[in-house]
Structure 1
Amino acid sequence: MNIRPPLLLCAVALASCSSPPVNFYTLSSPMLSETTSSINIIPFELRPVRVPLQVDQPQLVLNTSNTTLAVRENDRWGAPLADEFHDALMQRLEQGFNSRNLSGLPKPSSTEVLRVQVTLRRFESAPTQHAAIDAVWNLALSRQQETSRSLTCSSRIIMPAGETLSALVQAHQQALDELAKVLTRTGSAWYVNEHTSCPPSRPA
């Protein structure tokens, strides 16, 4: 009779029942260098980001064809996508506007605050093809909850993506970089000149 040691049986049982490791991805960039004092300070408030319901979850959702989506159970964002996108965009806007996000903080009573609202109409993740975002964004100047003027624009940004999920996430980071540049460039100009118009909405 071939009797296996109890410890060996336990190891075999654990190996057969173990699940694949969970990989976590982020849209945030590495810590950026401090902005220079020559850049104008634009006090701003980033509102919660709205994203399509089908992708607003911790798991990565891939566009595998024109009609199908695949949820990657073991490949996840660091947070639900709306929160992940918001925090990564906030990081970039704080750098671009040379100011901290004032959401949830006391607002200066003597200065107008630039309120930023972003709604993602599409957030596409297609490995070997592209990472794409289609965003409608609104800028509003407010002082003590009173809005003086607003501007609504849209941006469609497409970045080529590689074969791996890491390459796909990196393409999304690059798309987010471009969106943040558009927001800071337009927001900074519009903050001082109300006649500033929307930038062209086109693929990057």
Structure 2
Amino acid sequence: MISKRLFIALAAVLLLAGCVGSPSQPTRFYMLSAGGAEQDGPPLSAGKAVLLGPVTLPGYLDRPQLVTHTSDNKLALSELDQWAEPLHDNLKRVLIDNLSAALETEQVYAYPASLRPGPDVIQITLDIAEVRFSPTGDVSLKARWSLFNSLDGKPRLRDGKIYQSQNGGGHEDNAAALSNLVLELAGDLATAARTVALASS
């Protein structure tokens, strides 16, 4: 009986030592990055300003873990692969940087901002309906937007688009691919802002 107890005790100690001694994998953190947006049109009209927001994202993205769509009805969360900050905040800031570069102006602000409503303030509301990472490396972003004159709140332009990329890589490649899709989105928003600015001049 004593030898059996001793064996069990030794086994428990060895098991505990193995658990304590095994190194845990570090968490990897990712961010979106702004790109060098090309000016596909003229700068924003002098005296005009852009107010970006509200910007909305699906609830399933309101978490630190990167989310992969393993099927149309199933999501997988990666505990070891996380966003360095809330995706909403990161995406919004990158969009503002890209918009400023595309429109060649610093007059791009995040909603809410202390801008006095007026005919020279173009507000862009943006609904990110879906961000999808697939196990095969496909990345897509589905967005809808509306542009308003902030003085009267009447919509001047509405549009939407699905942006797609294929990288075949891992989470870091997915973050880079999504950054490129956000850059494409910023280019389309810049074109829309120019259209509304010219119409209200």
Q: Same fold (TM over 0.5)?
A: yes
Q: Helix, strand or coil: the match of 1:101?
A: strand
- How big is the shift at 1:147? 2.3
Distance 1:110 1:57 in 2: 36
- How big is the shift at 1:58? 1.3
Unpaired stretches in structure 1, ≥5 consecutive residues: 1-10, 195-204
Distance 1:65 1:102 in 2: 34
Q: Helix, strand or coil: the match of 1:20?
A: coil
Distance 1:29 1:156 in 2: 19
Provide the aligned C-alpha RMSD in A. 2.7
Distance 1:147 1:166 in 2: 40
Partner of 1:66: 72
Q: Return the letter of the residue paired with 2:199.
A: N
| Structure with bigger gyration radius | 2
Partner of 2:189: 183
Distance 1:65 1:153 in 2: 27
- How big is the shift at 1:55? 2.0
Which of 79, 84, 90 is 2:85 aligned to? 79
Higher helix share: 2
Greater mean alpha carbon deviation, residues 146-155 or residues 121-130: 146-155
Partner of 1:150: 156
Give the alignment of 1:7-156 within 5 angstroms.
14-16=20-22, 18-29=23-34, 39-40=43-44, 41=46, 42-97=48-103, 98=105, 99-101=107-109, 103-107=111-115, 112-143=120-151, 146-156=152-162
Q: Return the letter of the residue paired with 1:170.
A: A
8 A contact 1:123–1:134 mirrored in 2: yes
Q: Percent identity?
A: 24
Partner of 1:201: none
Query: Residue by residue, what CA displacement relative to the aligned partner does 1:106-150 show, whole Å, maximum 9, x if unpaired?
Result: 32566521111111111101143311011111111113xx32543
8 A contact 1:51–1:120 mirrored in 2: yes
Q: Highest relative contact order (Cα 8 Å, sep 6+), 1 or 2?
A: 2
8 A contact 1:123–1:133 mirrored in 2: yes
Partner of 1:164: 170
Q: Helix, strand or coil: the match of 1:47?
A: strand
Q: Helix, strand or coil: the match of 1:182?
A: helix
Query: Residue by residue, what CA displacement relative to the aligned partner does 1:158-192 show, whole Å, maximum 9, x if unpaired?
Result: 11122211111111111111111000012112221
Q: Return the letter of the residue paired with 1:86.
A: K
Paired residues in the alignment total 178
